[in-house]
């Protein structure tokens, strides 16, 4: 990440772990109803350039990249040949190139992994994390604030180009956006947006992601799940296409789908009694499985009213009894909450 940008954020009061600007509880409350602005320092970027860029990614990822519109964005994943997710990603166009956003803690290894497949393809993969800054903007005044910077996308998973060379605006939903900014322009744009939005750290953004049911694969959960386990094929998530016929895990994932062998699904849950943030990958337990785990935490964040919200992959049969625990069979209890979409 660009050091000048890190120094700028430090002067704004961002903590060294980027989780807050000094008052996580207030920032979480703001995320509920106000407009918040978050530096997405836990996201890395890969740039794919060259005439074969779209086809190259199309052949390796879980969604249709060749048919991605110039003004579109798309969620997708990369799987092992056994169908296990190595990464979850968000992809969009930057001129003739494609930008791939994924968790920063797996960014370098995924860049290396993808590069192994290039061979004779006319594609160049580079680390774009220093040339672009990612901001998350969310809340009722988000669209109005962005309107002062130029045109904004009309619908979810659309992008608009900001005046060159500033970058792109990606619309995630009705009130949520990601800005991919030229690093030199980022401080000025931050200062403009901060007049209409309240700075918030990653705790607030991660809570918003969990509330919308959008999972992120990190180093702790690599190869833990197949796409359906984290609801990737659900339209509201939109991370998987069964229409495309080429990626390393296509056959295994399709077989699980059509033979009804998906025995684990992602749920949203609340934990009131945990004393610290549940870790991604932490095991979950139910009476039905005794000492054997029945699931894992995907992502977690502090909740505005106290406790923690999380996304968790669970054996579907263990959710019926309603008794679920974190870390051990007698650990903090999970209370299942509704997702904003139907699985």
Give the pLDDT confidence score for residue 1 in this predicted structure.
Answer: 74
Site of tokens 């903590």 = 15
End residue of a domain, out of 160, 188, 211? 211
Q: Are residues 197 and 226 in the same domain?
A: no
Give the pLDDT confidence score for residue 320 in this predicted structure.
Answer: 86
End residue of a domain, out of 211, 244, 268? 211
In-domain check, residue 189: yes
Q: Are residues 36 and 169 in the same domain?
A: yes
CATH code, 9:
3.30.1360.120
Q: Are residues 207 and 230 in the same domain?
A: no
In-domain check, residue 343: no
End residue of a domain, out of 192, 211, 230? 211
In-domain check, residue 285: yes
Tokens representing residue 167 in the block = 């970058």
Rg, the chain, Cα only: 20
Q: Are residues 108 and 192 in the same domain?
A: yes
Q: Are residues 173 and 30 in the same domain?
A: yes
* Closest to 312 in 3D by CA, of 304, 106, 332, 110: 332
Q: Are residues 18 and 151 in the same domain?
A: yes
pTM over 0.85: yes
Alpha-helical runs (H) found in the chain: 3-12, 24-33, 53-60, 104-115, 142-147, 186-193, 202-211, 250-258
Cα-Cα end-to-end distance for the chain: 36
pLDDT of the chain along its 343 residues, tens only?
788 999 999 999 999 999 999 999 999 999 999 999 999 999 999 999 999 999 999 999 999 999 999 999 999 999 998 889 999 999 999 999 999 999 999 999 999 999 999 999 999 999 999 999 999 999 999 999 998 888 899 999 999 998 877 899 999 999 999 999 999 999 999 999 999 999 999 999 999 999 999 999 999 999 999 999 999 999 999 998 877 766 666 666 666 666 667 889 999 999 998 889 999 999 999 999 999 999 999 999 999 999 999 999 999 999 988 799 999 999 999 999 999 999 8
Q: Are residues 282 and 164 in the same domain?
A: no
Q: Are residues 145 and 237 in the same domain?
A: no
Q: Are residues 56 and 182 in the same domain?
A: yes
In 130-171, the DSSP E strands lie at 132-138, 158-161, 167-171
Give the pLDDT confidence score for residue 90 in this predicted structure.
Answer: 98
Give the pLDDT confidence score for residue 274 in this predicted structure.
Answer: 85
In-domain check, residue 342: no
In-domain check, residue 174: yes
- Domain containing 300 equals 219-337
In-domain check, residue 80: yes
CATH code, 295:
2.40.30.160
Q: What is the DSSP string of 34-78?
A: S-EEEE-TTEEEEEEESTTHHHHHHHHBSS--TT--TTBEEEEEE
**Are 1 and 130 a contacting pair, CB within 8 Å?**
yes
Q: Are residues 127 and 255 in the same domain?
A: no
Q: Are residues 203 and 266 in the same domain?
A: no
Count of domains for the chain:
2
Q: Are residues 165 and 197 in the same domain?
A: yes
In-domain check, residue 269: yes
């Amino acid at each position: 990440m660009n050091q000048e940008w890190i120094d700028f954020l430090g002067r704004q009061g961002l903590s060294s772990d980027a989780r807050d600007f000094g008052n996580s509880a207030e920032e979480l409350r703001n995320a509920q109803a106000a407009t918040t602005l978050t530096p997405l320092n836990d996201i890395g970027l890969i740039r794919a350039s060259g005439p074969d860029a779209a086809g190259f990614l199309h052949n390796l990822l879980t969604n249709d990249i060749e048919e991605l519109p110039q003004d579109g964005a798309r969620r997708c994943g990369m799987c092992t040949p056994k169908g296990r997710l190595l990464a979850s990603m968000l992809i969009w166009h930057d001129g003739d190139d494609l930008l791939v956003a994924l968790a920063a803690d797996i960014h370098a290894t995924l860049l290396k992994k993808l590069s192994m497949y290039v061979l004779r393809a006319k594609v160049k993969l580079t680390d774009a994390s220093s040339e672009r800054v990612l901001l998350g903007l969310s809340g009722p005044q988000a669209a109005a604030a962005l309107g002062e910077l130029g045109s904004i996308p009309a619908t979810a998973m659309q992008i608009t180009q900001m005046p060159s060379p500033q970058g792109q605006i990606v619309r995630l939903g009705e009130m949520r956006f990601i800005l991919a900014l030229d690093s030199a322009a980022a401080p000025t744009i931050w200062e403009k947006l901060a007049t209409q939005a309240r700075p918030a750290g990653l705790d607030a953004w991660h809570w918003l992601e969990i509330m919308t049911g959008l999972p992120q694969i990190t180093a702790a959960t690599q190869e833990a799940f197949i796409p359906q386990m984290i609801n990737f094929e659900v339209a509201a998530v939109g991370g998987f296409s069964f229409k495309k016929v080429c990626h390393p895990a296509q056959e295994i994932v399709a077989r699980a789908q059509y033979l009804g062998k998906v025995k684990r699904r992602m749920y949203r849950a609340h934990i009131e009694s945990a004393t610290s943030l549940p870790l991604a990958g932490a095991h979950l337990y139910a009476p039905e499985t005794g000492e054997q785990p029945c699931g894992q935490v995907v992502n977690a964040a502090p909740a505005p009213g106290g406790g923690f919200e999380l996304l968790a992959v669970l054996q579907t049969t263990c959710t019926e009894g309603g008794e679920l625990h974190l870390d051990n069979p007698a650990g903090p209890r999970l209370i299942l909450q509704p997702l904003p979409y139907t699985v």
